[in-house]
Amino acid sequence: MVWTGSVLLLAMTSLLFLESVQCSTEADDIDGTTYSLQCPPDCRDTTYYVYGTGTYTSDSSICRAAIHDGRVTDAGGVVTVVVTAGLDSYQGSTQNGITSTAWVSWDPAFYFVASPTPTPTNSVSQACGGSLDQTTGNITSPNWPGLYEPFDSCEWLITAPAEGYITLNFISFNLTGSNFGGDGCQLTDTVTVYEGNGTDGDVIATLCAARPPSVMLRSSGRHMFVTFRAKRVGRYPGFFAVYNAVSLPADCGYALGLENRQIEDAQMSASSQLPNYEAWKARLNGGIAWQFDVSSDSEPWLQVNLTTNHYVSGVQTQGRWGGWLTSYMIKYSTDGLTWSAFGDGMVFPANSDGVNITQHILDPPILTTSVRIYPLTWNGNVPRLRMELLGCTG
């Protein structure tokens, strides 16, 4: 990759984000099928090669080819490239002071098209964005499931009607169909999800390419702010996401029924269990406990299936004489297939004896049907767990 560095803010008819490249940059250096670039001045006199006329080999200098094709002068400027299937042969010619070379079969190739007129990125287009305060709904890129337009820009503020939080689940996500942008999603089309009511809040996720988040996103408070910025010229399907505003019932912290057996034995299961230490014995203050098989179970978990939606607002753990957990993490699922880690895999300290109860409050509560406790560390070789879930019905 040959980048001069960062995103350029260009004064054209309005502000427009573009990638800045060098005279040496070849189409092979750039991932994407259609994109606009800012060519620097003084590419005419460089020695970078250009192969072809009208259609150029992918190892040709983009900016020199652009002068050859009459798209820009030696002063540089914005060019728009379309990558295409290669040709069996390429014609050489002299145009606009540049001599290109003939070449044999080469794949892929590129050609130029007129650059689009940008819409300002500092104003939100009418087609998208807005202030949403329904308890559920969806947000999509403009024109979804059709392709969005270059330089589309949208902002949504999602607000829960009462104290609570927002969840956002991406059902469909394809911003460029490639890995372009790297882990940080620089220099490419992005969806950014923030805590709070604007871009000043903490970033919950920055998304790009065809990489939807692996878990449902959630805010910690009543507001979530989402931006969509199409910085490249490519047109892609974009995204469809469903949000839910979760409002918490008052007084949501009673025992959900492990100790008092309202939760039945069949609702409890585990990755493994020793004889006489079955999953269903993991009940707070119960006579026995759950114990997994340390010798063979490398990723132990205990699952409680609440069968209907519940808010889980706290967890109490307890060991049993001879052994206890010293730390765990929590995962939850509404379908039993996709499990999300609470707090991004937050580690909860557990017990230091077989008797006392350790309690942790989950803030904000999880709205879920199933919960799993994943033991991470334990005392000796005897990981025993008794527990209770706190919360309320959802």
Ligand X SMILES: *[C@@H]1O[C@H](CO)[C@@H](O)[C@H](O)[C@H]1NC(C)=O
Q: List contacts with ligand X (CB under 6 A).
A: 137-138, 174, 177, 196-197, 210, 236-237, 305, 307, 333, 336, 352-353, 356, 370
Residue of minimal Cβ distance to ligand X: 336
Which 3-state string (H, E, C) describes 336-363? Answer: CCCCEEHHHCCCEECCCCCCCCEEEEEE
Rounded to a whole number of angstroms, the minimum distance from the CB of residue 110 to ligand X is 17
Find residue 180's DSSP bridge partners.
none
Taking the least distance from each CB to ligand X, the nearer of 51 and 236 is: 236
Q: Residue count of the chain, please give it.
A: 394
The continuous run of DSSP H or E covering 68 comes out as helix 62-68
Question: In this structure, are residues 45 and 180 in contact, taking their beta carbons and an 8 Å threshold?
Answer: no
- Separation in Å, CA 218 to CA 76, 156, 257, 262: 44, 15, 27, 30
Taking the least distance from each CB to ligand X, the nearer of 135 and 305 is: 305
Rounded to a whole number of angstroms, the minimum distance from the CB of residue 237 to ligand X is 5
Taking the least distance from each CB to ligand X, the nearer of 97 and 336 is: 336
CB under 8 Å to 130, separation ≥6 — which residues?
156, 157
Rounded to a whole number of angstroms, the minimum distance from the CB of residue 243 to ligand X is 10
Nearest-angstrom CA–CA distance, 270 and 261 = 17
Taking the least distance from each CB to ligand X, the nearer of 22 and 334 is: 334
Taking the least distance from each CB to ligand X, the nearer of 90 and 280 is: 280
Rounded to a whole number of angstroms, the minimum distance from the CB of residue 225 to ligand X is 9
Taking the least distance from each CB to ligand X, the nearer of 40 and 196 is: 196
Rounded to a whole number of angstroms, the minimum distance from the CB of residue 37 to ligand X is 20
CB under 8 Å to 159, separation ≥6 — which residues?
131, 132, 133, 166, 197, 222, 223, 245
Q: Which sign does the torsion angle of CA 288, 294, 296, 297 carry?
A: positive
Rounded to a whole number of angstroms, the minimum distance from the CB of residue 177 to ligand X is 3
Question: What number of helices (H) and strands (E) belong to the chain?
Answer: 1, 27
Nearest-angstrom CA–CA distance, 350 and 383 = 11
- Separation in Å, CA 367 to CA 150, 257, 307, 320, 342: 37, 17, 12, 29, 11
Rounded to a whole number of angstroms, the minimum distance from the CB of residue 69 to ligand X is 25
Taking the least distance from each CB to ligand X, the nearer of 99 and 179 is: 179
Rounded to a whole number of angstroms, the minimum distance from the CB of residue 335 to ligand X is 7
Task: For tokens 């004896």, name the residue.
Answer: 353
Taking the least distance from each CB to ligand X, the nearer of 174 and 272 is: 174
